[in-house]
Amino acid sequence: MVKVLVIYHSQSGNTEAMAKAVAEGAKSAGANVVLKKATEANAEDLLTCDVVAIGTPNYFGYMAGLVKDYFDRVWIVIRDKVAEKPYATFGSKGGGGAQALETVENICNGLKMRKVLDGVMATRQPSEAVIGQCKEMGMKLAKPEKMKAVGIREPRL
Ligand SMILES: Cc1cc2nc3c(=O)[nH]c(=O)nc-3n(C[C@H](O)[C@H](O)[C@H](O)COP(=O)(O)O)c2cc1C
């Protein structure tokens, strides 16, 4: 069974609602889903999953500090062990842009992970349409063998 890991940070619940929708979609497609706040996740979670979805709010044009903290904590253990692992990003912003997702992608790119879907970004509370996109993301991630890389970039780290 495919193991889908969903890691996220959320203070006011917007990204959390999206994380739950991604998890629900993946479960409905038959995956074994692990849904964890970034503060509770460890290196083993990432090493043992087949595919990961990473969710973050936009904080000052960057990922949330506690998502960055996750990468900081696990980097040394995982850095040579997650190449080609499929991933996707999602999150919520206020009035700004989607830079938070791009900063997560930069790190995943540096780890040589494989972005397999375009990120889903809500403005504040996710609409029903965005929740639908998140469920769809989860359903697609449950079948990672069918997914090709999107938006390949040179590592910049
Ligand atoms: C510390 C902090 C910094 C923020 N910085 C930005 C920002 O630079 N750009 C932006 O669009 N929204 C910013 N926001 C708004 C959040 O991204 C937005 O409210 C989001 O929906 C919060 O998601 P959450 O409910 O998952 O915590 C900021 C919020 C906080 C708490």
| 0.75 exceeded by pTM | yes
State residue 120's pLDDT score.
Answer: 98
State residue 156's pLDDT score.
Answer: 62
State residue 149's pLDDT score.
Answer: 85
Does the CB atom of residue 87 touch ligand 1 within 6 A?
Answer: no
- Mean pLDDT along residues 32-46: 98
Q: 58 exposed, middle or buried (CB, 10 Å; 0-12, 13-18, 19+)? A: buried
Pair 97, 58: CB distance under 8 Å: yes
State residue 147's pLDDT score.
Answer: 81
Does the CB atom of residue 56 touch ligand 1 within 6 A?
Answer: no
DSSP 32: E
As a whole number, the mean pLDDT across the chain is: 95
Does the CB atom of residue 11 touch ligand 1 within 6 A?
Answer: yes
Residue 32 pLDDT exceeds 70: yes
Summarised one tens digit per residue, pLDDT across range 83-142 is 999 999 999 999 998 899 999 999 999 999 999 999 999 999 999 999 999 999 999 999
State residue 146's pLDDT score.
Answer: 76
Separation of CA 87 from chain center: 6
83 CA distance to ligand 1 centroid (A)?
30
Q: Is 120 left (phi over 0), alpha (psi -120 to 50) or beta?
A: beta
14-28 helix and 128-141 helix, angle to the nearest 10 degrees? 40
Token output for 77: 């253990």
State residue 60's pLDDT score.
Answer: 97
* 130-to-21, 29, 73, 91, 133 alpha-carbon distances in Å: 9, 18, 30, 10, 5
59 CA distance to ligand 1 centroid (A)?
5
3 CA distance to ligand 1 centroid (A)?
29
Q: How many residues does the chain have?
A: 157
Pair 79, 112: CB distance under 8 Å: no
Nearest atom in ligand 1 to 124's CA: 21
Nearest atom in ligand 1 to 18's CA: 26
- Mean pLDDT along residues 37-42: 98
Separation of CA 94 from chain center: 19
* 74-to-2, 9, 68 alpha-carbon distances in Å: 22, 16, 10
State residue 38's pLDDT score.
Answer: 98
> Which residue owns the Cα nearest ligand 1 atom 31?
59
